[in-house]
Amino acid sequence: MPRRRRLNDDAGESSKRARRPAQATKHLYLVLDDCVQSYSIHRLDADDDTGSIHKPDDDPATRFVAPGSQMHFVGMAGNIVGQRPSVAVVVLAASLLVAAPPPFGEEEAVTAYAVHPDARTIFVSTTGGGTYSFDTERRKWRRHGEWVLPFRGQGYFDGELDAWVGLHREDQGRVCACHVASRGGARPPEYSETLDYREASSSSCKKNRRQRATLTYMGDSMFCAVETYELVGTSPSSSSKEGGGGVEVHVTMFGLKYNRRGELQTRVRRATGAFLVPKHVSSYSPVAFWM
């Protein structure tokens, strides 16, 4: 490209950026359960200089009271909403209110799901070993074959990577990326790669029992993983409001990119934090939201 043309293009791009409205600042929020049989939402702050994520304040921004039951949470229109069913059920229910029932049986649970870049098609994999898609405009289902998505829970599309990204369905502690599945095809995504998003496990990670992890997408190829560890010799019910312990939460913010060989790797800039929290539902996994 001639130099003059490039300079003019750059000036035009600068002018376009100047005219764009400023985007609202987003923050990372963490949903925890505690010993008073409720769920609390805390804002997390990271220190850019040290790469440390600060422990949540004792005084939460919001609290949900749910004695003796497990809640699931989903982000809707800039709000965090608590639900009794699973997140996968909530996502699908929003599309199925006026649609035909799914082609898989009620005994099959959704194990993974992701939204296609077209913003209208939802892909789901089930415990029955198959993958389906639902077109929210045409309100029709399609079966894609006897294969499942490589991640568990929600997979997120990242435009820079041109891939779906999620936590690996079998190997905990690893994130995987795969090509977006074809809306009309019957073959699984052609490419997938896994990566350990932690530089090294801390001593507490190695000696304590790891529970389920959750992942959230922060935009621009940035992600946040939240992992829970039950400390050796304790149980979730032994946690105290004063932080006496039983459960330790690890939060890792990391970016992803491809190297020159096209291999998935983490960016240099990262942020991590670990802190003790109370807990009253042993099967609940803390989850983060970016909004």
Three-state helix/strand/coil letters over the chain: CCHHHHHHHHHHHHHHHHHCCCCCCCCEEEEEECCCCEEEEEEECEECCCCEECCCCCCCCEEEECCCCCCEEEEECCEEEEECCCHHHHHHHHHHCCCCCCCCCCCCCEEEEEECCCCCEEEEEECCCCEEEEECCCCEEEEEECCCCCEEEEEEEECCCCEEEEEECCCCCEEEEECCCCCCCCCCCCCEEEEECCCCCCHHHHHCEECCCEEEEEECCEEEEEEEEECCCCCHHHCCCCCCCCEEEEEEEEEEEECCCCCEEEEEEEEEEEEEECCCCCCCCCEEEEC
What does the pLDDT read at residue 285? 84
Into which CATH architecture does domain 103-196 fall? Beta Barrel (2.40)
What does the pLDDT read at residue 9? 35
The span from the CA of 249 to the CA of 51, in Å, is: 17
pLDDT digits (tens, 9 = 90+) for 173-201: 889 999 999 999 999 998 888 888 876 44
- Average pLDDT estimate for 213-219: 93
The span from the CA of 4 to the CA of 106, in Å, is: 63
- pLDDT at 160 > cutoff 80: yes
Amino acid at 290: W
Structure tokens at 151: 């991640």
- pLDDT at 252 > cutoff 80: yes
What does the pLDDT read at residue 75? 78
- pLDDT at 242 > cutoff 80: no
What does the pLDDT read at residue 10? 36
List 274's β-bridge partners, or say none: 250
Report strand pairing: 38-44 vs 46-47.
unpaired
Instruction: Name the residue with tokens 């799914």.
Output: 102
Domain boundaries, the chain: 22-68+197-291, 103-196
Burial 242-258 (b: 16+ CB within 10 A, else e): eeeebbbbbbbbbbbeb
What does the pLDDT read at residue 201? 41
pTM: 0.80
Half-sphere exposure of 78 (CA within 13 A, CB side): 3
Amino acid at 68: G
